């Protein structure tokens, strides 16, 4: 009886919810291993973007996810930071844009990877380079 009660408490205490989006990054997203915990990477990214006058639309340090507001038309940058080995994070930064507006479809359905040289792709590359400089990077 006691074991059942303990199991019930553990199941109730674990919340399987996340504030991350249900979709994965686009295949063209940028990747790196950064020498910091996921929450620290997310916080540093927020500070770097705000210093670069890019408004952050949504950020959660607990889930290590960040999304900017639209800039330069319909471009948007998203960052996922996942744990790697202790003290390091696998960082994925995607740059997307919406070429058309269609209220009958979800925003994600309309998003496409930002083309090379576009404002979104340039900002994503600048952000990743700044994170590598500020926090350090590991190459496996």
In a domain, 60, yes or no: yes
Residue at 6 is within a domain: no
Domain that holds residue 85: 19-138
CB neighbours of residue 42 within 10 Å: 24
Say if 109 falls within a structural domain. Answer: yes
Q: Residue 104 maps to which CATH number?
A: 3.30.310
The reply to whether 13 falls in a domain is no
52 located within any domain:
yes
Residue 26 maps to a domain: yes
Residue 5 placed within a domain: no
Instruction: Report pTM.
Output: 0.85
| Domain presence at residue 14 | no
Average pLDDT score over residue span 31-58:
97
Per-residue pLDDT tens digits for 63-119? 999 999 999 989 999 999 999 999 999 999 999 999 998 899 988 899 999 999 999
Residues 8-42: tens digit of each pLDDT:
554 555 556 778 888 999 999 999 999 999 999 99
Domain count, the chain: 1
């Amino acid at each position: 009886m006691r074991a059942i009660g303990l199991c019930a408490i553990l199941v109730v205490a674990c919340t399987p919810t996340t504030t991350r989006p249900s979709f994965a990054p686009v295949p063209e997203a940028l990747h790196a291993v950064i020498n910091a915990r996921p929450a620290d990477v997310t916080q540093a990214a927020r500070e770097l973007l705000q210093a670069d006058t890019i408004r952050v639309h949504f950020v959660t340090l607990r889930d290590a996810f960040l999304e900017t507001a639209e800039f330069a038309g319909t471009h948007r940058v998203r960052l996922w930071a996942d744990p790697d080995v202790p003290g390091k994070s696998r960082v994925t930064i995607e740059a997307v844009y919406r070429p058309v507006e269609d209220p009958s479809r979800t925003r994600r359905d309309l998003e496409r990877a930002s083309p090379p040289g576009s404002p979104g792709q340039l900002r994503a590359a600048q952000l990743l380079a700044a994170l590598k400089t500020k926090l350090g990077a590991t190459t496996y």
